[in-house]
Chains A and B, each alone.
Chain A
Amino acid sequence: MAKRIDVSGLSAFYGSHKAIEDISMTVEPRSVTAFIGPSGCGKSTFLRTLNRMHEVTPGGRVEGKVLLDDENLYGSAVDPVAVRRTVGMVFQRPNPFPTMSIFDNVAAGLRLNGSYKKNRLAEVVEKSLKGSNLWNEVKDRLNKPGSSLSGGQQQRLCIARAIAVEPDVLLMDEPCSALDPISTLAIEDLIGELKERFTIVIVTHNMQQAARVSDRTAFFNLSAVGQPGKLIEIDETERIFANPSVQATEDYISGRFG
C-alpha cells in the first residue's frame, strides 16, 4: 500500500533546457504533500518525474534518483509501465476517454492492462466510484458517456479511474484549477479520505488549498526566467505558513513576491 518516496539529486531536462535542478526531498506515506510555487518553477515537471511521465514528453530526460520504498524508479531494469501502475496520476484538466462510458472509463486501467477478473470488474468500479464520492451521482447512468458529466464530476471520475488500479501513490497536478468552489470542496474532502490509503502529492496554485489539505508543503522557486526551478524548502504545512525558515517562502505566501 502507501509507500514512501525518497528523491535525491534529481534534475529534469527538456532537450538541453534544464527545468529543475538538484531536488532532494522525502514524501511521507499516508500523508498529503503539497507543492507550491510560481508558474514555470518546475512543480509539475517534478511531479511528472515521480511516475516517469516526464520522459513521455519529447526530449524529456531525468538525472538523479527517486526511491519508492528503497527501489529506484530510474534503475536500468525498471519498466516505466510498472512504475505508472504503482504511482497514479490525476491531471489538471479532466480528461475522461471520450469513446468510453462512465463504467468503461473507471474500468479502463484494469481492462487495458489486461490483468483483471471479469466478475470482479463491476465490484472494483463501484468501489472506486464510491472512493471518489461519485457513486451516488452516476450509479443509474453508468453506461452514459464520461463526457456527459460536469467538470467537477469528470475530475472525480478521473480520480476514480486512477484509484481503480490500486496505486500506492497518487499524484495530482492542480486537480481543482478548472473547477468551481463546490467541486473543489468535494475534491478536497476526497483527498482527506484518500490519504488514509494512499501517499498523495498535490501541485496547487491555491495557497489556502495547500494549507487546508496538506500535511507537508514544499516551496519551489526559480531565480529568473529560463533558469532551472529549485526546491527552496519543505516542512510541516503549519510551519511553512506560520514561520517559514526561508525569507523567499514568506514573501511568496504573504503575496510580497517579486
Chain B
Amino acid sequence: MSHTAIQDRPAPVPPSRKGGLSSRSLPRWAPIGFAIVSIALGVGIGIGAGWESRIQWGLISGLIFVTISYVATSIVENKRQAKDRLATSVVWVCFILAIVPLFSLIWVTVSRGIKVLDTYFLTHSMAGVPGIEPGGGVYHAIIGTLEQVGIATVISVPIGLLTAIYLVEYGKGALAKAVTFFVDVMTGIPSIVAGLFILSIMLIADIQPSGLMGSLALAILMTPVVVRSTEEMLKLVPNELREASLALGVPKYRTITKVVIPTALGGITTGVMLAIARIAGETAPIILLVFGSQLINSNPFEGAQSSLPFYIWDQYKIGSEASYDRAWAAALVLIAFVMILNLVARGIARWKAPKTGR
C-alpha cells in the first residue's frame, strides 16, 4: 500500500527560476487591496440582487476575499505562498466574524442603554413606579448584586483557594483524583440546578427567600471556577522556588503562604475576578431563591432582594417602551460592572506580578 502510494506521487514541480532565492511577490498593500475590492464586490452583488440582509453581503465579501487572495497569490507568487495566504485570509475572516457580534452587542447596549442612564436612575429604586411608565431606577438591583456577589465571593474564595492549595501542594492518590473529578463536574453544573439544590434545602428547612440563599447558589457555581484557575496558577510557580525556600529550613506551610502564593497572586486575583464576572450575570438562582423585589432591601439575610440580571428580565417582561429602556440601561450597568472588575483584576495582576527589570 504505502509503496505504491509513494511511487504514484507526481514528481515535484521544479521552481520556475532554478537556484534563485528571490521571486516575484505581491506588494505589501495587497491584502488591504483585496479586502477593499471584495467588500465593494460583495456590496455590489448584494445591491444588484436586491438582498436586504447585511449578513449576506458580509459573507459574500468574505468568500470573495478568500478566493481573490488565493487565486492572485498563486498566479503572481507560487502554490506554497498561496496556501499561506489562504490560511491567513481565513484567519482574518474568522476573526472579523467573531468580533462583529461582540461589537454590535456592545454598540446596541450602549446606544439603547444610555437613554435613561443618569444619576437619578442609579440612585433610585422602582418603589411606587408603575412598570409601564418611565421613571424609577436600578439602585435596589445594584445593592442586591453587590451584596449577593460579595457574599458568594467571601464563601467561595477561601474554599476554592484552600482546595487548590491542597490539590497542588499536598494532594496525591485517590482523594486528590476524586476532588479534581468532582471539581470538573461542578464546573459544568447549570445555574438552575444549583438554584434548585438550594431551593430544596429551603423547602425542607422552611427558609424564606433572601439574598443569602442566592449567594449560596452563586457560591456553588463560583467555587469550582476559583479552584481551577488557582490550581493552574499554583502549578505555574517553579518548583525551584519551593525547594529554595524548603532548603532554607522554612516549614512547608510558610513556604506556601510566603513564597508560592505571593508569586502566583496576580494570576489568582485575575481568576477570582473572572469567576465573579461569571456569577454576576446569573439570573436563574436569583429568580428562584431571592425572589426579586422593587424595593430597596439592603439586608441580604432577610427578605426578597433584586439583582441586575433579575431586574433586566423583570423589566423586559413588563413589555412597555419605558421598561425596555430601563432593561437596556441595567444591562449597560451590568456590563460596566463586569468590565470595571476586569480592569481592577488586570491592575492588581500587573501590580503584584513578579518584578523584572533593573
Contact = CB atoms under 8 A, between A and B. Distances in A.
A66 B244 CA distance: 22
Given A112-B254, A147-B354, A82 B248 contact: no
B260 to A, nearest CB: 10
Contacts of A95: 238, 240-241, 243-244
Contact of A144 (B247, B249, B265, B358): B358
Interface string A141-181: 00011011000000000100110010000000000000000
A99 B244 CA distance: 14
A88 interface: yes
A148 B172 CA distance: 36
A81 B358 CA distance: 34
Contacts of B250: 81, 108-109, 112-113
B249 A98 contact: no
A99 B262 contact: yes
Nearest to A90: B247
Contacts of A83: 249
A98 B248 contact: no
Contacts of B248: 84-85, 88, 108-109, 112-113, 161-162, 165
Contacts of B245: 97, 108, 112
A93 interface: yes
Interface stretch (A5-13, A51-59, A184-192): A51-59
A241 interface: no
Contacts of A158: 244
Nearest to B266: A99
Contacts of B263: 97-99
Interface residues of A, number: 32
Contact of A148 (B240, B254, B255, B358): B358
B259 A56 contact: no
B308 to A, nearest CB: 36
B355 interface: yes
Contacts of B354: 98-99, 145, 147
B240 A109 contact: no
Contact of B258 (A85, A98, A112): A112
B247 A162 contact: yes
Contact of B241 (A58, A86, A97): A97
Contacts of B357: 145, 148
Given A58-B172, A147-B354, A97 B246 contact: no
A214 to B, nearest CB: 21
B16 interface: no
A193 B103 CA distance: 66
B14 interface: no
Contact of B240 (A82, A93, A161): A93
A149 to B, nearest CB: 8
23 contacts: A51-B247, A53-B247, A56-B242, A56-B243, A81-B250, A84-B249, A85-B249, A91-B243, A95-B243, A97-B244, A97-B259, A99-B262, A99-B354, A99-B355, A108-B248, A109-B249, A111-B258, A112-B245, A112-B254, A112-B259, A113-B254, A145-B355, A148-B356
Interface of B: 172, 238, 240-251, 254-255, 258-259, 262-263, 265, 352, 354-358
Interface of A: 51, 53, 56, 58, 81-86, 88-89, 91, 93, 95, 97-99, 108-109, 111-114, 144-145, 147-148, 158, 161-162, 165
